Chain A
């Protein structure tokens, strides 16, 4: 029976997401109530995913609707972006990479390695949970639009 990710494991990713948007997009974002992915009706247009390995394993995902992604990437690179091209894919992957890398410092006891980012695009695609753990979702609201942080985290120690 899979159990949900512990809150102590999701908080570093939550803080890292807020700091990344503040520093690199000059945007204040607000986290909503953490929810189980099982009960969430979530669909997205672009998702950046980073794999975690080492003393813990799992994934960190940032998922955006198209319009939010375009606005976020425009702020990130300082140029207006209007189409979901390779620039947007690269930028969403890099944002996810920065969040995962930044969160690592608060999870140092797990000696986590992070993978290179993967980016999935497709209208209304869904991010599903694994068999061993139920991912937690942090819905964020921002002036750029809403998006979600999804964390799956299993300690190996």
Chain B
């Protein structure tokens, strides 16, 4: 599975990449904000996006809406992985097309479970 991992924190990208590797996902491309994500998605072939919310240049929710508005990318599942924990934020993301939502802080097992549920 080709995965795009979007987070402005190199630490969070490293933690999530390690989790992905542990569950067998090694084809991971990193992006550091929404603009970078949209640019990298244009190359095609991605099957899953893990998206942070608060990022410079273009936030995760803005990027999610762009992904879902583009016929070329609208079918790619997007899991939001963010410290934004309020119900209104979660609802906004789900209504904007997010396939799932992981709230930081999370345990690696939680992220792995959400990814597995997407694969099924």
Binding site for B on A (CB under 8 A): 19-20, 22-24, 73, 76-78, 86-87, 90-91, 93-94, 97-98, 100-102, 104-105, 108, 114, 116
Contacts and interface: CB of A to CB of B under 8 A. Distances in A.
B26 interface: no
A90 B103 contact: no
Contact of A104 (B14, B18, B85): B85
Contacts of B54: 97, 101, 114, 116
A114 B116 CA distance: 31
Interface of B: 8-12, 14-15, 18, 54-56, 82-88, 103-107
A98 B104 contact: yes
Given A87-B11, A94-B12, 15 more contacts: A19-B105, A24-B107, A73-B11, A90-B11, A91-B11, A94-B11, A97-B9, A97-B83, A98-B105, A101-B85, A102-B83, A102-B105, A104-B86, A105-B86, A114-B54
Q: Which applies to chain B's interface (DSSP): helix, strand, loop or mixed?
A: loop
Nearest to B110: A23
A90 B54 CA distance: 14
Contact of A90 (B10, B56, B104): B10
Given A100-B83, A105-B85, A114-B54, A20 B105 contact: yes
28 contacts: A19-B105, A20-B105, A22-B105, A23-B105, A24-B15, A77-B15, A78-B15, A78-B18, A90-B11, A91-B9, A94-B9, A97-B9, A97-B54, A97-B83, A98-B83, A98-B104, A101-B84, A101-B85, A101-B104, A102-B85, A102-B103, A102-B105, A105-B87, A108-B86, A114-B54, A116-B8, A116-B54, A116-B56
